[in-house]
Structure 1
Amino acid sequence: MSDERLDAGWLRVWCEQADATLAKLMDSFQARHGFEPSSNEVVLASDVSRPATDALVDLTPVPSDLTTMYWVIAEVSLPDVENGYFVHPASLVADHFREYGAVQIDGEEPALVFASDGGGHLFALAGSGRVWRSTTASWFDQFDLAAACLREFFEELSQQIGNQSDGLSKASWLKAG
C-alpha cells in the first residue's frame, strides 16, 4: 500500500501526456482497425463539473485522492483503448452510491466505485488509497486488488494507451512528474 497521496500537478501532466498519446493513437486508428474510432478523451474538470464533486463529498466520505482527481479530471472515456476504460463523472459516482452504496471489501474500508471497463468490471477506491477491480460485472461479487494507489491506476492506464500506440515503447511518459 502506498502512503503517497495523489498529486494534482502530477495528474495534470498525466492528462497532457495522455491527450498527446491518444492523438497519435487516434490518427492511426482507422488505418489499423478499419473503422473510425469513438470519442476517446480525458475531460478536464471545470466550473461546470466541480459542483458535482462538492455534492459527492457532501454525500459520503470520499477518499482524498478521489477528490483530488475530480478537481483535475471530470471524466475519462476511452472506449477504443483495450476493451474500454471509463472514469465516471462525480455525478454518476454519486448516483451509483445512492443506488448501490459503497463496495464492501474484506479487510478494507468501504470503497467507492469510480470507474469501469468495457466488460462491465468496476473499479473502486478505498479509504486506504488502494484501487480494487470487480471479478465480475457486479457490485456485490468479489473485488481483487488492481493498483496500490490511484496514481498507479493512472500509470497502468497510460501503459494501456501507450501499448496500443504506434512507435511508443510502453508509454515512456507514464512515470512523468
Structure 2
Amino acid sequence: MADERLDAEWLRAWCEQADAGLAKLMKSFEARYGFEPGSNVVVLASEASRHATDSLVDLTPIPSDLTTMYWVIDEVSLPDVENGYFVHPASLVADHFREYGAVRIDGEEPALVFASDGGGHLFALAGSGRIWRSTTASWFDQFDLAAGSLQEFFEGLSRQITDQLGQLVEGWAGA
C-alpha cells in the first residue's frame, strides 16, 4: 500500500466518519469515565493552515501524502482516544523540523515527524510513505514501523475510536 498515494476525497470522508464517531464517544464519555473529555477534534484545513503547509514545503521536501493531508486537515487532537493521538499542524511540524531536523531511520529516506501520542512517542512519515513510531519519547532513539501508509495510520485511528465506542456500549450493557 505504500506505493499508493493518499486520496484527498478518501481523507475528507475519513474526517466526516471520525467526527461522527467522536460525537458519539464524547456524548457518553463523562458518564463512563467520571470526568469531562478534552477537546477531541479533527480541524479541517483553512487558508492559514494551507499557507503554513506551503511554508513547510519550502522549508524541506516533504512526502506528497503529507502535503495532501495538510490540504485537507489542519490538525487532529484526540486526547481521550486510547492514550491520546495528535496530528500536529504544519506550522508545528516546521518548527520541530527547524529545531530537530528529519528523523533518521535505517534503510529509509529521512522521515518527517508529523504526529505524537499521549505518551510522547513520535510518528514520522518517510519518503517511502511508511509511518514510523518512536520507541521512546525521543527524536533520536529507535523508530519501529507503525503503518504502511498514511491512509493505514488514519484507519488505525478510526479503529481506536470504534473500539472505544464498543467498550462504552459493553460497559453500559453490563451495568
TM range (shorter): over 0.9
- Other-structure match for 2:172: none
Corresponding residue SS for 2:30: helix
Structure 2-normalised TM-score? 0.94
SS in 2 for 1:71: helix
Q: How many residues align?
A: 169
> C-alpha distance in 2, partners of 1:167/1:37?
16
Alpha-carbon shift at residue 166 of structure 1 (Å): 4.2
Fraction of identical pairs, as percent:
83
CA distance in structure 2 between the partners assigned to 1:151 and 1:117 by the alignment: 17
TM-score by length of 1: 0.93
Structure number with the higher helix fraction is 2
Task: Output one character per residue of 1:105-131: Cα deviation in whole Å (capped at 9) or x when no partner.
Answer: 000000000000000000000000000
Matches within 5 A, 1:70-149: 70-149=70-149
Counterpart code for 1:164: Q
> Which residue of the partner structure matches residue 17 of structure 1?
17
Q: Which runs of 5+ in 2 are unaligned?
A: 170-175
Q: Are the counterparts in 1 of residues 132 and 145 from structure 2 also a CA contact under 8 Å? A: yes
Give 3-state SS (helix, strand or coil) of 1:74's partner: strand
Pairwise CA RMSD: 1.3
Per-residue CA shift, 1:62-84, capped at 9, x if unaligned?
Answer: 00000000000000000000010
| Unmatched runs of 5 consecutive residues or more in structure 1 | 170-177
